[in-house]
Amino acid sequence: RKMRVGWFHQHQIEAMDPTDTPLEIIRRAMPDSTESSRRSKLAQFGLGYEKQETTVDSLSGGERARLLLNMVAMDAPHVLILDEPTNHLDIDSRRALLDALNQYNGAVILITHDRSLMELVADRLWLAADGTVKPYDGDMDDYAKFVLDRAKQASVRPTQVKDETAVASGGGGNKNKKNNKKSGPSPSTLRHAVKKAEERMAALTAEIARIDDDLANAAVNNPKALEGLTRARGKTQADLDTAEQAWVSAEEALAEVS
């Protein structure tokens, strides 16, 4: 009954009052504190004096996220529930969050698509699938294979098999079968497309891993390189998403003609 729970979700940032200011927000959270204590707290959040009376509408997404995350953690909750906490954060803020989570003494439930954050922070994985949430014994590589296998299975839709059977068993004999035969790429062409997409996905996944390593090193040795590496990672991730979609499309097309 005495357990304190801190809750941050990604849509809180969009729900903030655009006319509010960080100083007004901290005043409500610290009604009995002095003005200097409130300003000092905001400075600890990474919001300097010039930002403390700036409207929320004028703050960057990263500044708003930092403010909200620190507000959630301010009361030292025993459990933190964080939904996509790295959305809107720049690379420096992401690293600060990573360090803070690893140093945190309480429990953290983290919902995220950020693979590097999961690998560097989480000590237990849970799989949300098919309306359930269960402990997951594998690592992130196992999970990536699990997702690809599910996509491959989903590409063979039972409704297609049923529809094709109904057409084939209808009236009209060989004439209807000939007319109903779909034109398009041959199975061998589609199998080649699937293989090329898989190779492309593997290459892009390896490239993202390499960029993540470079990002970790640049944060320590060459901060000026961070911006270029961050852009490169975003582009590579977008290319990977495109490759995954091409793979799924090729698998679906192959299932239709097989």
CB 67 within 8 A of CB 89: no
Q: Radius of gyration of the chain from Cα atoms? A: 25
The token duo for 46 is 């990474």
pLDDT at 157: 52
> Is pLDDT at 211 greater than 90 in this prediction?
no
Mean pLDDT (whole number) for 135-163: 73
Edge-to-edge, what's the strand order for the sheet holding 79-83? 5-8, 79-83, 107-111
| pLDDT computed for residue 114 by the predictor | 81
Write the DSSP symbol of residue 142: H
- Residue 232: is its pLDDT beyond 80? yes
Q: What is the pLDDT of residue 221?
A: 61
Name the region of 40 (left: φ>0; alpha: ψ -120 to 50; beta: rest): alpha
Average pLDDT, the chain: 78
List strand residue ranges (DSSP E) for the chain, in order.
5-8, 79-83, 107-111, 125-129, 132-136
Q: Which residue has the tokens 């997409």?
A: 197
Q: Long-range contacts of range 208-216, CB-CB < 8 Å, 24 or more positions apart?
A: 208/233, 208/236, 208/237, 208/240, 211/236, 212/116, 215/91
pLDDT tens digits, 14-42: 778 888 899 899 899 888 889 888 888 88
The CATH-assigned architecture of domain 5-123 is: 3-Layer(aba) Sandwich (3.40)
Digit-coded pLDDT (tens) for 29-85: 888 889 888 888 888 888 888 888 888 888 887 788 788 888 888 888 899 998 888
Distance CA 15, CA 224 (A): 33
CA–CA separation, 61 and 63 (whole Å)? 6
Contact in structure between 126 and 133 (CB atoms under 8 Å):
yes
Which of these, 43, 96, 24, 106, lies nearest to 73 by C-alpha position? 106
Q: Determine which of 24-38, 103-117, 157-171 has the lowest per-residue pLDDT on average.
A: 157-171
Tell me the angle at which helices 226-257 and 140-154 cross, rounded to the nearest 10 degrees.
30
Q: Which residues contact 20 (CB under 8 A, 6 or more apart)?
A: 55, 56
Residue spans of the domains in the chain: they are 5-123, 185-257
